[in-house]
């Protein structure tokens, strides 16, 4: 039950007035009428607190946040858990602004494929666990790796992008031959075992030369890149697939340096090699559209057969704090509702993902200074315009990829809430009436 929202302070009257003058966009409702009313009230209070913060009315904001803190919990329903994390993020933002008032000025700123992926994920998870136990190493990077694996296993968010991008690459490289994939964020390498299996099955035709695969994996940590390469190499050996793996270290703070590295990388050195560039959950890292443009120009110079792109369907990079806050609130409300609808009520993994993975993202979007934010997602319509402006043409996502994504949801995440939509030759994953992720391919 919600505690009383009445307050004797004048700031409560200010909150009502501010909310009426700045009504937030409508929230997705998937709750009972009573729960919907409470969720709507909490959301309006959150937006009111954010509005006060944008006006530097710290006292009024703190009063509203005190009410929200009383009426939220990490262990309540999905709305209460979400409100708790946003309340915490707003409180951190206030503290940072009080310490440095000039810190930010927003005005200037297939089934077999699925099975192989599951098996590979399990082996990676086991290997990660053994590595950490043996070395007593529980640093943040190790924990994030485990959270990523949980996210891959418990939600369709990562698999949806991986499987659909893989199918786009396979469709664009139907004939046997040498394939070179530049993966801009290879992470654990979970995307590639299904594609490797599909390529190995192509080699069963004795009249065609066997295909070969070369992957250049990018990431910030050379040790982890090498570990990923070792796992992929062992998997390729088990399939009898001709395989090479190379690393390209990306320094998080030096994405501009990545452009030079890609230019110097002799990607087309192997005669007859087909190049595919994988930008799954990568473009949001660029600070502005100019940087994206420079990056795309370099990618275009490689003359790739296909470029795959997956991103959040949310405008989390908006310069306006209130716009960004409202967009984030609706986006994560849908995500938390999807977790509530598909995982057990007392799921330890769900609580951990909400607090440690998505909670970190919420903190980044809401509380981080402009130069420090990492979650700069743009809606597909914005990315589509940028891609076309730099000479890329959309390659329609095929019907088989759509069917495969439907099968993924039915087999692994059975719920009436998840849905797929094919729009503008691209594929979107949504939860009920809100789109969450997009996947597209380009040439």
Over 70: is that where the pLDDT of 408 sits?
yes
What is the model's pLDDT at position 17?
A: 44
In this prediction, residues 80-86 reach a mean pLDDT of 95
Domain boundary among 353, 371, 389: 371
Cα three-residue angle 66-323-319, rounded to 5 degrees: 115
φ, ψ of residue 183 to 5 degrees: the values are: -100, 110
DSSP state of 265: S
Asked whether residue 66 falls in the same domain as residue 176, the answer is: no
Residues 185 and 206 in one domain: yes
- pLDDT band for position 37 (50/70/90)? confident
Share of the chain above pLDDT 70, in %: 78
pLDDT beyond 90 at 372 = no
For position 99, what pLDDT does the model report? 77
State the pLDDT at residue 106.
45
pLDDT band at 3 (very low <50, low <70, confident <90, very high): very low
Residue 110 has pLDDT above 50, yes or no: no
Write the DSSP assignment of 172-192 as a string of letters: HT-S-SEEEEEETT-TT-TTH
Query: Would 259 be classed as within a structural domain?
Result: yes
- CA 65 from chain centre, in angstroms, equals 28
User: Domain containing 263: what range?
Assistant: 111-144+154-313+377-442
In this prediction, residue 14 has a pLDDT band, given cuts at 50, 70 and 90, of very low
Least confident of 12-21, 275-284, 369-378: 12-21
Last residue of a domain, one of 354, 371, 388: 371
Mean of the pLDDT values across residues 303-310? Answer: 95
Same domain, 269 and 336: no
What is the pLDDT at residue 24?
A: 43
Average pLDDT over residues 266-292: 82
pLDDT, residue 86, reads 97
- CATH of residue 230's domain is 3.40.50.150
**Percent over 90 (pLDDT), the chain:** 56
Residues 39 and 167 grouped into a single domain: no
Give the SS3 label for residue 426.
strand
Is the per-residue pLDDT at 29 higher than 70?
no
In a domain, 4, yes or no: no
Report whether pLDDT(179) > 80: yes
Does 3 map to a domain?
no
122 and 74: one domain?
A: no
Instruction: Please check whether residues 243 and 173 belong to one and the same domain.
Output: yes
Asked if residue 5 is part of any domain, the answer here is no
Q: Does residue 421 have a pLDDT over 90?
A: yes
Residue 183 has pLDDT above 50, yes or no: yes
Is 149 a member of any domain? no
Higher pLDDT residue, 196 or 203?
A: 196
Q: Do 305 and 330 reside in the same domain of the chain?
A: no
Higher pLDDT, 268 or 405: 405
Q: Mean pLDDT throughout 192-203?
A: 92
179: nearest Cα among 212, 209, 216: 212
In a domain, 410, yes or no: yes
Per-residue confidence band for 202, with pLDDT thresholds at 50, 70 and 90: confident
Question: How many Cβ atoms are within 10 Å of 9's Cβ, its own excluded?
Answer: 13
Phi, psi of 64 (to 5 degrees): -65, -40
Q: Assess whether 63 and 30 both reside in one domain.
A: yes
Residues 245-257, mean pLDDT to the nearest whole number: 78
Q: Does residue 1 fall inside a structural domain?
A: no
Q: Is the pLDDT of residue 47 over 90?
A: yes
The arithmetic mean of pLDDT across residues 358-368, rounded, is 96
Q: Residue 302: which pLDDT band, with cuts at 50, 70 and 90?
A: confident
Task: Examine residue 364 and state whether it is found in any structural domain, yes or no.
Answer: yes
Which pLDDT band, with edges at 50, 70 and 90, does 45 fall under? very high
pTM: 0.84
Asked whether residue 26 falls in the same domain as residue 91, the answer is yes
- The band of 201, judged by pLDDT with boundaries at 50, 70 and 90, is confident
> Same domain for 59 and 180?
no
- Of 415, 440, 427, nearest to 334 by C-alpha is 415
Give the number of domains in the chain.
Answer: 2
User: Is the same domain home to 367 and 382?
Assistant: no
Query: Quick one: pLDDT at residue 9?
Result: 39
Q: What is the mean pLDDT of residues 103-117?
A: 48
Average pLDDT over residues 388-402: 95
Q: For residue 179, which phi and psi values (nearest 5 degrees)?
A: -115, 130
- pLDDT for 257 equals 72
Integer angstrom CA distances of residue 37 from 51, 209, 241: 21, 64, 57
pLDDT at 120 over 80: no
Same domain, yes or no, for 355 and 383?
no
The structure tokens listed for 51 are: 């509005």
pLDDT-derived band at 127 (thresholds 50, 70, 90) equals very low
Contact status, residue 206 vs residue 241, Cβ threshold 8 Å? no
For residue 83, what are the β-bridge partners? none
Distance between CA 170 and CA 185 in Å, rounded? 19
Q: C-alpha dihedral over 116, 122, 124, 129, to 10 degrees?
A: 180
């Amino acid at each position: 039950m919600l505690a009383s929202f009445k307050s004797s302070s004048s700031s409560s009257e200010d909150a009502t007035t501010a909310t009426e003058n700045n009504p937030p966009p409508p929230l997705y409702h998937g709750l009972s009428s009573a729960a919907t009313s409470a969720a709507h009230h909490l959301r309006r209070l959150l937006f009111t607190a954010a509005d006060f913060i944008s006006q530097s009315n710290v006292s009024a904001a703190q009063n509203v946040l005190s009410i929200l803190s009383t009426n939220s919990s990490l262990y309540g329903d999905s709305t209460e858990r979400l409100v708790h994390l946003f309340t915490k993020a707003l409180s951190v933002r206030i503290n940072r602004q009080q310490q440095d008032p000039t810190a930010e000025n927003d005005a200037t700123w297939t089934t077999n494929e699925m099975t192989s992926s599951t098996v590979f994920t399990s082996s990676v998870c086991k290997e990660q666990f053994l590595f950490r136990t043996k070395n007593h190493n529980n640093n943040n990077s190790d924990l994030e790796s485990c959270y990523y694996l949980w996210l891959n296993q418990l939600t369709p968010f990562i698999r949806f992008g991986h499987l659909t991008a893989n199918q786009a690459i396979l469709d664009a490289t139907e004939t046997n031959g040498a394939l070179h994939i530049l993966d801009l964020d290879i992470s654990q390498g979970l995307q590639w075992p299904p594609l490797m299996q599909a390529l190995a099955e192509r080699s069963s035709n004795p009249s065609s030369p066997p295909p070969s695969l070369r992957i250049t994996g990018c990431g910030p940590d050379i040790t982890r890149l090498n570990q990923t390469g070792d796992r992929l190499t062992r998997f390729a050996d088990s399939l009898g697939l001709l395989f090479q793996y190379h690393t390209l270290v990306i320094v998080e703070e030096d994405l501009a340096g990545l452009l030079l590295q890609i230019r110097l990388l002799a990607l087309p050195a192997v005669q007859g090699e087909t190049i595919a560039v994988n930008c799954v959950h990568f473009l949001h890292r660029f600070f502005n559209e100019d940087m994206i443009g420079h990056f795309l120009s370099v990618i275009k110079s490689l003359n790739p057969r296909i470029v795959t792109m997956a991103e959040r369907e949310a405008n989390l990079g908006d310069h306006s704090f209130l716009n960004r806050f409202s967009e984030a609130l609706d986006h994560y409300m849908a995500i938390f509702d999807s977790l509530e609808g598909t995982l057990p009520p007392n799921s330890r993994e769900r609580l951990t993902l909400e607090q440690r993975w998505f909670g970190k993202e919420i903190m980044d979007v809401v509380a981080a200074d402009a130069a420090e934010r990492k979650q700069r997602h743009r809606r597909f319509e914005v990315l589509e315009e940028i891609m076309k402006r730099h000479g890329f043409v959309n390659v329609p996502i095929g019907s088989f990829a759509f069917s495969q994504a439907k099968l993924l949801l039915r087999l692994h995440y059975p719920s009436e809430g998840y849905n797929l939509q094919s729009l503008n030759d691209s594929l979107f994953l949504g939860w009920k009436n809100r789109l969450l992720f997009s996947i597209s391919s380009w040439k």
